[in-house]
Amino acid sequence: MGCPLEHRVLIERTRANIAAAYLELARPVPGVHVVRDQQPLVVMGPGQPSFANFLMEFDDAEALVRAEAALRTIEVPSTIWAFHTDADRAPDLSGQLREHGFRRMSRLLCMVAEPEATSSESDFTWEPATRPADRDTVAAFMVRQFFGNTDRQAQAGIQLGTSKSVHSLYATPSVSRMTGGVMIVRSEGMGGLYCLCVHPDHQGKGLGGQIVRAVRREVHPDPVMLQCDATLERWYQALGFRTFGHVDAYCRDR
């Protein structure tokens, strides 16, 4: 197994990976503007989805004030999001966010698996989706698994952003017979695992675990990080991941 990364490096690479993930998912969505491309990052879109409309990377006491100043230069959607990660250095950022009218909506765990050289599994195949039509098929599958109950406009935005993003999309066993999928986000020294999903008819047969191991092989020798709900912590632990931090999502309505 590879050496564990020093904590500060790990949380910084994680934040960079999440920022890259959201930024590149947001870019293709119509009406999205990268208002600030440096700390703090300000990306604003039509209001849906949350990854197309967010603030993140707050590293000093004035960061949130600078974000607010940037927001005053544009027409702001009715709901905006702020993502607070362990790499943020702004003092008492949770308190600052509350003072600025944000409320915490969710907390996800950040987990990492150190690189491990493992051989491929003979009963597992996946197909990278590269053609636009294939990417759209995979994105539509992911949206159905994760956002089946979200309104149609948000679903369309998520599908478009996912399909047209620069991130790698995979379908298992193939795009045409897809029963599971995953998105991989590459950033310096880190592979991010996002949107892992298995069709409900095929869950509980080991497919999700096979996809996770395939992602670890794919990004080797980089480590793999992911964000997940606490209910999945033990499952990911059994697959070689450890928890090292959190990402909190905050939201403010006009």
Structure tokens at 93: 């950022």
- Residue number, 82 or 198, with CB nearest to ligand COA: 198
Residue 240 touching ligand COA (CB under 6 A): no
**Phi, psi for 34 (deg, rounded to 5):** -85, 100
Q: Count residues binding ligand COA (CB under 6 A).
A: 16
State in angstroms the smallest separation of the CB of 212 from ligand COA.
8
- Residue number, 93 or 108, with CB nearest to ligand COA: 108
Residue 228 touching ligand COA (CB under 6 A): yes
Q: Name, in order, each residue with C-beta under 8 angstroms of 126's C-beta and a sequence gap of 6 or more.
A: 170, 171, 172, 173, 174, 211, 214
Q: Is the peptide bond before 4 cis (omega within 30 degrees of 0)?
A: no
Residue 74 touching ligand COA (CB under 6 A): no
Judged by CB under 6 A, the chain residues 118 through 147 that form the site for ligand COA are: 145
From 49-57, 110-118, 130-138, 198-206, span contacting ligand COA (CB under 6 A): 198-206
Cα–Cα dist 226/110, whole Å? 6
Count CB-CB contacts under 10 A for residue 144.
13
Judged by CB under 6 A, the chain residues 53 through 72 that form the site for ligand COA are: none
Rounded (10°) angle between helices 152-164 and 7-26: 110
State in angstroms the smallest separation of the CB of 195 from ligand COA.
7
Out of 20, 111, 183, 196, the only residue in the binding site for ligand COA (CB under 6 A) is 196
Burial of 124 (0-12, 13-18, 19+ CB in 10 A): middle
Using H for helix, E for strand and C for coil, what is the string for 33-93? Answer: EEEECCCCEEEECCCCCHHHCEEECCCCCCHHHHHHHHHCCCCCCCEEEEEEECCCCCCCH
Residue with tokens 């897809």: 178
Out of 31, 73, 78, 235, the only residue in the binding site for ligand COA (CB under 6 A) is 235
Out of 71, 140, 154, 232, the only residue in the binding site for ligand COA (CB under 6 A) is 232
State in angstroms the smallest separation of the CB of 172 from ligand COA.
10
From 73-81, 130-138, 199-207, 216-224, span contacting ligand COA (CB under 6 A): 199-207
Q: Which residues bind ligand COA (CB under 6 A)?
A: 145, 196-198, 203-209, 226, 228, 231-232, 235
